[in-house]
Chains A and B, each alone.
Chain A
Amino acid sequence: MTRLSRRQFGVLVGAGAATMAAPTYLRAQGKPRVVVIGGGAGGATAARYIAKDSDGAIDVTLVEPTRRYYTCFFSNLYLGGFKEMDDLGHSYGALASSGVNVVHDWAIGVDRSAKTVTLAGGATLSYDKLVLSPGIDFVDDSVEGWSVNAQNKMPHAYKAGSQTELLKAQLASMPAGGTFAMVAPPNPYRCPPGPYERVSMVAHYLKQNNPTAKIIIADPKAKFSKMALFQEGWANHYDGMIDWIGDDFGGGNVVVDPDAMTVSIDGEVTKVDVCNVIPAMKAGKIAEVAGVTDGNWAPVNAADMSTKADADVYVLGDASQQGDMPKSGFSANSQAKVASNAIRGALTGSRVFPAKFANTCWSLIAPNDGVKVGATYEATEEKIAKVDGFISATGESAELRKATYEESEGWYTGITTDMLSA
């Protein structure tokens, strides 16, 4: 051998000189940089895992506007009176103290050629890899008569926090025998069983506090997640209280009037006391701003969650269009770990393992009546593809339903720890 490439030289020297062993993958100007936008189940998990597993070799910045994170998962249990709002709130303090640079600001721009992110506060962040986990936004005009401007009269409560509190306050102020309406969303949307768990929790609240009240659901779908389980539970616990109007009966033909507080379903106008409008959804805005969406969502490669549009930009969770996984906090957390492993491998040369994904969604129908659905997934060329799954059965014992609910409590503390602990 007469001549060594730089890389060979590094390997040979590294064998004898420990101090020179590492820098092969490091950029000349310093550590590789990862910017994560969005501190929910996808983004917080990605930031934590990349920082933790790279042990300081990667500079990780998490951009999240809110200082306290309220989980959308379990927010229905707040409506039902099973949780306090404080139970759903979590701090970013532990992440910040364990090596993640947490920046509370809005990301308003992405320049993919310069590889920079612009923040509303004026700062610019450079990245080698960008992770977008912005959750959902709503599709304009998807429910006739409703816009985001009407959300204080007809709340969506589909991003947890003040909207959830508003819906609870409206529920509590309903007159005796009043009507609670829900306009359910079309597929695909965040948390497929979410609207129906919400109806269950609202029904539970009303049964305790306003037992002659009624619930109407206008649904553009002909069927929904865990349908048999919810319908069985509604008959068991809330007989006669809930009227679900699916697409077959005009549930998709809805017009709301937030000022008059009316809902028109297939031409029949009803005066209601509360109207929870859950509009059609799309990827959080920054995904569109970054130019990685196609239609409402951001198509990604199943092997590592990188976008089809840009190999250095990853999209996690609800905003991604990945294949068979439901849009859920569990899915986002699962996808984040696959992406983190791949990103770390690309930036530091650490081992990259095969993508494996999983999801479980628990729903509470009534006190100690929990149900669940779950599946495992793998990456194919085309998409994240379902491998195998299960769903709770109708007619299960009260003991099993109670155990399922208790398991969901364990999952809640588990996932929030997995996202946000030091």
Chain B
Amino acid sequence: MSNLANRRTVKQHLIAVSAAVAFTALPAGVTFAVSSFVEKDTAKLESAVAATGDVGKNEKSIILAGSDQAKSGRSDGQIKTEANDEIEAIELVMTADIMQIAPDLEYGEYLAGDCTTCHKLSWEGDEVPSIVGMPKEYLVQAMVEYKMGIRVNNVMNLRAQNVSNEEIAHLAEYFSSIELE
């Protein structure tokens, strides 16, 4: 394995993971996700990468595997406790990459319309967590974890899978910018 501490593109890390799977014993939930990803999508991934294809498509491959994982019976709402180092490295790099994207607050506010159907713009506690005024990096990382299937909740996995990294940046900027009275 190459040194993942060197910050590289997500694309490169995805190659690293697909290679690593063959050698690494993964914890139960992650094994399913990554192995199904490798079985189904290695060819697609490689061709996409070879053609310097878009990262979004590659991410989608992993994400779909994560969605299968959700269906495989891990509890909705479960947060990673056992993530493999490689998975965690991708997560951190994706988070860092998204933090570099120039945010568009107005687009973020528009996109947030899909969130505010459940997440209130207040700290009133109830069954859906409040996300207003949270640190931006926390929000970005949470969305990355939902995207990758590390956090499992059907509603959130679906949302995260269907927004681009740019859109995650705009959304996180918007929610973190809200100051509660």
Size of A's binding interface in residues, CB under 8 A: 38
Least CB distance from B7 to A in Å reads: 30
Whether a CB of chain B sits under 8 angstroms from the CB of A353 is yes
Assess whether B127 is in contact with A406, with CB atoms less than 8 Å apart: yes
Give Cα distance in the complex from A234 to B34, angstroms: 36
Give Cα distance in the complex from A333 to B117, angstroms: 8
Give Cα distance in the complex from A373 to B115, angstroms: 17
What residues on B are CB-neighbors of A390 within 8 Å? 67, 70-71, 154-155, 157-158
Which chain B residues (96-130) contact chain A, with CB distance < 8 Å?
Answer: 106-107, 110-111, 113-114, 116-122, 124, 126-128
Size of B's binding interface in residues, CB under 8 A: 31
Looking at B36-44, B46-54, B73-81, the stretch in contact with chain A turns out to be B73-81
Least CB distance from B170 to A in Å reads: 10
What residues on B are CB-neighbors of A356 within 8 Å? 111, 114, 162
What residues on B are CB-neighbors of A358 within 8 Å? 114, 117, 158-159
Give Cα distance in the complex from A177 to B66, angstroms: 48
Assess whether A414 is in contact with B75, with CB atoms less than 8 Å apart: no
Nearest-CB residue, chain A, relative to B124: A413
Which chain B residues (145-164) contact chain A, with CB distance < 8 Å?
Answer: 154-155, 157-159, 161-162
Give Cα distance in the complex from A360 to B157, angstroms: 13
Nearest-CB residue, chain B, relative to A352: B110
What residues on B are CB-neighbors of A400 within 8 Å? 75-77
Given contacts A403-B76, A410-B128, A414-B128, contact A389 B117 (CB under 8 A): no
Whether a CB of chain B sits under 8 angstroms from the CB of A235 is no
Whether a CB of chain B sits under 8 angstroms from the CB of A268 is no
Partner of A414, one of B107, B111, B118, B158: B118
Which chain B residues (53-88) contact chain A, with CB distance < 8 Å?
Answer: 67, 70-71, 73, 75-77
Which chain A residues (373-402) contact chain B, with CB distance < 8 Å?
Answer: 374-376, 387-390, 392-393, 396-397, 399-400
Which chain A residues (70-103) contact chain B, with CB distance < 8 Å?
Answer: none
What residues on A are CB-neighbors of B114 within 8 Å? 334, 337, 356, 358
Give Cα distance in the complex from A406 to B113, angstroms: 21
Assess whether A409 is in contact with B154, with CB atoms less than 8 Å apart: no
Give per-residue flags for A341-375: 1 if the beta carbon is below 8 A from chain B beta carbons, else 0: 10000000001010010101000000000001011
Least CB distance from A156 to B in Å reads: 27
Whether a CB of chain B sits under 8 angstroms from the CB of A407 is yes
Give Cα distance in the complex from A393 to B122, angstroms: 32
Given contacts A351-B106, A389-B158, contact A407 B127 (CB under 8 A): yes
Which chain A residues (321-342) contact chain B, with CB distance < 8 Å?
Answer: 330, 333-334, 337, 341
Assess whether B117 is in contact with A414, with CB atoms less than 8 Å apart: yes
Give Cα distance in the complex from A403 to B129, angstroms: 13
Give Cα distance in the complex from A24 to B158, angstroms: 41
Give Cα distance in the complex from A337 to B117, angstroms: 10
Which chain A residues (179-218) contact chain B, with CB distance < 8 Å?
Answer: none
Give the interface of A toward B (CB within 8 A). Answer: 49, 330, 333-334, 337, 341, 351, 353, 356, 358, 360, 372, 374-376, 387-390, 392-393, 396-397, 399-400, 403-404, 406-411, 413-415, 417-418
List 9 A–B pairs whose Cβ atoms lie within 8 Å, in order of A's numbering.
A356-B114, A358-B117, A374-B158, A388-B158, A389-B158, A390-B155, A410-B126, A410-B128, A415-B117
New A-B contacts (10) at CB < 8 Å, excluding given A353-B110, A360-B118, A399-B75: A351-B106, A358-B158, A390-B157, A403-B77, A407-B155, A413-B124, A414-B117, A414-B119, A418-B116, A418-B120
- Ranked 10 nearest A-B pairs via Cβ: A410-B128, A410-B127, A337-B113, A406-B127, A414-B118, A390-B154, A376-B162, A353-B110, A411-B118, A410-B126
